[in-house]
Structure 1
Amino acid sequence: MQKTKKLRNDWTKEEINTIYHQPVLELVYQAATVHRQWHKHSEIQVCTLLSVKTGGCPEDCSYCGQAARYHTDIKVQALLPTETVIAHAQKAKDGGSSRFCMAAAWREVRDNRDFDRIIDMVKGVNELGLEVCCTLGMLTEEQALRLQEAGLYAYNHNLDTSEEYYDEIISTRKFDNRINTINNVRKAGITVCSGGIIGLGEKHIDRISMLLTLATMPKHPESVPVNALARVKGTPLEDLPKVAIWDMVRMIATARIIMPASVVRLSAGRIEMTEEEQAWCFMAGANSIFTGERETLLVTPNPGLTEDMEMFNNLGLKPMIKERQSSCTTI
């Protein structure tokens, strides 16, 4: 366990494996101790995620209901009007969110009118004083720079799983494509939001390998989302079992110990967790959630704002108040 506030980027797989496989109570104790050294443990950043363009994606990500090739109940939605997105952002801010994330179901960013509209959305949300985040698929360094100049604070691009298991989940792009996009985001001076999904059929060693990739980057991602598979009917992974809560706790606690300065986000899967199970995740070092008035996380169910505020009250937690920061600073 880390005793001083010093970041490491030279973790080994063996070290992370040892941390991950500790008895869960010892692991949580260590993670909670690290969390209190680096963060205000009673504060949780509330983020809102809005799908600004839904469905019709040409990728074949096995977990995703937005892939055009899978027969799901998700309706394709064209890019939302800019004024509609800004109105959602204002409502999110009024509800206590300090970060507003916009997601488009694209394989990659293209230099066209739709990207111009995304730039306008970023500018508008930035003017509200919110941290602005986007997840738009792969992008070039030049496109990342345009987003940064518009006021983008963070870019989400998850690894999803380990490099070794990646081809079992996605065939339409390579693991290196993910790394390249993250590198382009870094070069543009935008903070990185990158984590992954557990419950895809991977082994524990794949989870450890994914954490190793994140923790040995030249700079840790400022945000690390930990997602439990949302089993969408019509996708290849719809029949996989629910992720066990202790698996989520292990991932969150290990991420907290090896990337202590990062915001660890308890992301997809909360709808299937009890309040007590979520409390264990917060104890293990999670200090961010996604919430919203639509009670969805992109296209899957998610607890609503009222329910989350009741949980915060019960647990003695409060929304994190973020000071306005430029897009090239760290969280």
Structure 2
Amino acid sequence: MLRTDWTLDEVKAIYYQPVLELVAQASEVHRQHQTTGEVQVCTLLSVKTGGCPEDCAYCPQAARYHTGVQAHKLLPDAEVLAAAQRAKESGSTRFCMGAAWREVRDNRDFDRVLNMVSQVNDLGLEVCATLGMVNDYQAEKLKEAGLYAYNHNLDTSEENYSNIITTRTYDDRLNTLENVRKAGLSVCSGGIIGLGETDEDRVKMLHTLATLPAHPESVPVNALVPVQGTPLAEQPRVSVWEMLRMIGTARILMPNTMVRLSAGRQEMPVTEQALCFLAGANSIFSGEKLLTTPNPDFDADKEMFALLGLKPRQSFKNHVPEGATVLAKTAAVEA
């Protein structure tokens, strides 16, 4: 039975138990609610890079930090479509487009993004976007264009949020998630660990996600990739045991959710990634970059899948959204 009424004490009890016991429990929940050994491969492309006015302390795309990231305007439609086609041919079933904007504005660039969404949807891929804050009208326009999911991470706990970002509020984040949900889009929202937060902050963030009116369909668990020039450049690497606590707890709290092993995977050997899959992670991002940070490429991931006996998850499995292409509907039926 799915619950959205978890108490903070219940989440703490799950999170703080011995890590091997947590992994065992999470693995059992995963087996009951998901197809084990099945992992969705996603690709994330930065369609507009750098120059963001926000001050997110972890982000190399903030204009105020000197990180060496080369800013570029919105990519040409043909370039985005070609990248989506390459991702599909390499095994990805979900294609996410990220733009370094504070918020979506109703202008020509947004119209171009809507066109990109429509074209990528026609390839039969789950189309995701992360464009900053959106209002209800913009979320509905994205849905009409064929968008399947919208990503907007909480990043950390509400209590720790102002230590990481001061240019928007936690309520801004939650309002965007509400607008996305109302539009009928799949909600993708998770966080980053390794920002200097406490275990208590991690527990509170998971509690917030698990007690939303409905669980996010997708929860990315990111390990900070420190970038020189950002305020968090000297943060130590997160350990696999910390990732396991996050992934395992997320899996137990939100059994039907896709738990995504996201940023930081480049630094994780296959043995560590295997433990994360055992704890309930069932999605990865593949491709040379995750927006602007290094990420394992498709060939390395194919080798890992073969070694661990994993199989790729089909797009639109168990859910065919309105407006999905015939190709996508066929894939969902076959899955």
- Are 1:310 and 2:303 matched, yes or no? yes
- Are 1:110 and 2:100 matched, yes or no? no
Q: Secondary structure, in 3 states, of the residue corresponding to 1:265?
A: strand
Residue ranges of structure 2 left out of the alignment (5+ in a row): 325-331
Correspondences of 1:34-73 after superposition (within 5 Å): 34-73=29-68
Match of 1:3 in 2: none
* Cα distance in 1, alignment partners of residues 41 and 316 from structure 2: 14
- Counterpart of 1:67, as a letter, is A
Q: Secondary structure, in 3 states, of the residue corresponding to 2:251?
A: helix
| 1:327 to 1:210, Cα distance in 2 relative to 1, 3 A | farther
Match of 2:328 in 1: none
Maintained 8 Å contact 2:126/2:316: no
- Are 1:15 and 2:10 matched, yes or no? yes
1:97, CA displacement in angstroms? 0.6
- Are 1:237 and 2:215 matched, yes or no? no
Q: Secondary structure, in 3 states, of the residue corresponding to 1:50?
A: strand
1:328, CA displacement in angstroms? 8.8
* Cα distance in 1, alignment partners of residues 189 and 316 from structure 2: 22
Q: Secondary structure, in 3 states, of the residue corresponding to 1:75?
A: coil
| 1:32 to 1:327, Cα distance in 2 relative to 1, 3 A | farther
Q: Secondary structure, in 3 states, of the residue corresponding to 2:41?
A: strand
Residue ranges of structure 1 left out of the alignment (5+ in a row): 1-5
Q: Secondary structure, in 3 states, of the residue corresponding to 1:29?
A: helix
1:270 aligned residue (231, 248, 265): 265
Match of 2:138 in 1: 143
Correspondences of 1:149-228 after superposition (within 5 Å): 149-228=144-223
1:318, CA displacement in angstroms? 1.2
* Cα distance in 2, alignment partners of residues 62 and 22 from structure 1: 31
- TM-score, structure 2 as length reference: 0.95
Question: Sequence identity, in percent?
Answer: 65
Maintained 8 Å contact 2:146/2:323: no
Correspondences of 1:276-291 after superposition (within 5 Å): 276-291=271-286
Match of 2:329 in 1: none
Q: Secondary structure, in 3 states, of the residue corresponding to 1:59?
A: coil
1:326, CA displacement in angstroms? 1.2
Maintained 8 Å contact 1:70/1:234: yes
* Cα distance in 1, alignment partners of residues 83 and 315 from structure 2: 19
Maintained 8 Å contact 1:189/1:328: no
- Counterpart of 1:68, as a letter, is A
Q: How many residues align?
A: 323
Q: Secondary structure, in 3 states, of the residue corresponding to 1:47?
A: strand
Maintained 8 Å contact 1:191/1:327: no
- Counterpart of 1:43, as a letter, is E
Maintained 8 Å contact 1:63/1:229: yes
Maintained 8 Å contact 2:160/2:201: yes
1:77, CA displacement in angstroms? 1.2
* Cα distance in 2, alignment partners of residues 328 and 15 from structure 1: 39
- Counterpart of 1:298, as a letter, is L
* Cα distance in 2, alignment partners of residues 137 and 322 from structure 1: 24
- Counterpart of 1:237, as a letter, is L
| 1:90 to 1:8, Cα distance in 2 relative to 1, 3 A | same
Match of 1:254 in 2: 249
- Counterpart of 1:318, as a letter, is K
Runs (4 or more) in structure 1 with deviation over 4 Å come to none
Q: Secondary structure, in 3 states, of the residue corresponding to 1:221?
A: coil
* Cα distance in 2, alignment partners of residues 260 and 73 from structure 1: 40
Q: Secondary structure, in 3 states, of the residue corresponding to 1:178?
A: helix
* Cα distance in 2, alignment partners of residues 235 and 78 from structure 1: 22
* Cα distance in 2, alignment partners of residues 322 and 64 from structure 1: 29
Maintained 8 Å contact 1:192/1:223: yes
- Counterpart of 2:46, as a letter, is S
Maintained 8 Å contact 1:153/1:328: no
- TM-score, structure 1 as length reference: 0.96
- Are 1:320 and 2:310 matched, yes or no? no
Maintained 8 Å contact 1:153/1:327: no
* Cα distance in 1, alignment partners of residues 11 and 208 from structure 2: 11
* Cα distance in 1, alignment partners of residues 8 and 188 from structure 2: 22
Q: Secondary structure, in 3 states, of the residue corresponding to 2:128?
A: strand
- Counterpart of 2:151, as a letter, is N
Match of 1:88 in 2: 83
- Counterpart of 2:242, as a letter, is D
- Counterpart of 1:309, as a letter, is K
Q: Secondary structure, in 3 states, of the residue corresponding to 2:315?
A: coil
| 1:21 to 1:215, Cα distance in 2 relative to 1, 3 A | same
* Cα distance in 2, alignment partners of residues 244 and 291 from structure 1: 21
1:73, CA displacement in angstroms? 1.2
